[in-house]
Amino acid sequence: MAQNIYIDATAVIIGDVQLGEGASIWPFAVLRGDEGPVVVGEGSNIQDHAIIHVGKIGKNVTLGHAAIINDATVGDNCIIGMNSSILNRAQIGEECIIGANAVVVSGTIVPPRSVVVGVPGRIIRSDDRTILARALANANTYHALRDEYLDGRYKRRTTP
């Protein structure tokens, strides 16, 4: 089993779910591997209220607050914005940014190093070589936060 994983006590993980080394699953995230597997790659962070219902998330991916992955694939080193949705059979290439609130519709293939925004999502920038550094910086921030939580720095309060 992978090591150095943080899973918040309020997260829900059901069925065939595989977490890579150093992954972090934050408050109220839901990972449902009931109709197929969920794979979360090494160092990826699944933020508060995000949902993955079947899918594959690559390494060092940031899945923003309340984002939804439904039977889709996300490549390595991506930033998936808050409240965005990536729908059935969509494929997000490595080093992409999916903007906040974007909807990547079923079956869409997003090439590597693309920026996608809007509803429905459209590519507004291609072959952006700056995304990797931004994605790794974001992932590294969450690696440090994961380690602080694993070390017990932040205690859950149940009373005032």
- What pLDDT, in 10s, does the model give residues 148-159? 999 999 988 888
Which whole-number Å values give the CA distances from 9 to 3, 29, 127, 155, in the listed order?
A: 17, 10, 39, 12
Residue 133 forms part of a structural domain? yes
The answer to whether residue 14 is domain-embedded is yes
What is the value of pTM for the model shown? 0.96
Q: Is the pLDDT of residue 50 over 80?
A: yes
The answer as to whether 158 is a domain residue is: no
The pLDDT value recorded for residue 104 is 98
pLDDT score of 3: 87
Domain span holding position 71: 6-150
The CATH number of the domain holding residue 38 is 2.160.10.10
Per the omega criterion (within 30 degrees of 0), is the bond before 120 cis? Answer: yes
In a domain, 128, yes or no: yes
118: tokens are 């809007």
What are the pLDDT digits (tens) for 96-126?
999 999 999 999 999 999 999 999 999 999 9
- Specify if 157 maps to a domain: no
1 domain residue, yes or no = no
Q: How many residues does the chain have?
A: 160
Residue 17 near residue 38 (C-beta atoms within 8 A): yes
Give the strand order in the sheet containing 79-80: 6-7, 24-25, 45-46, 62-63, 79-80, 97-98, 115-117, 122-125
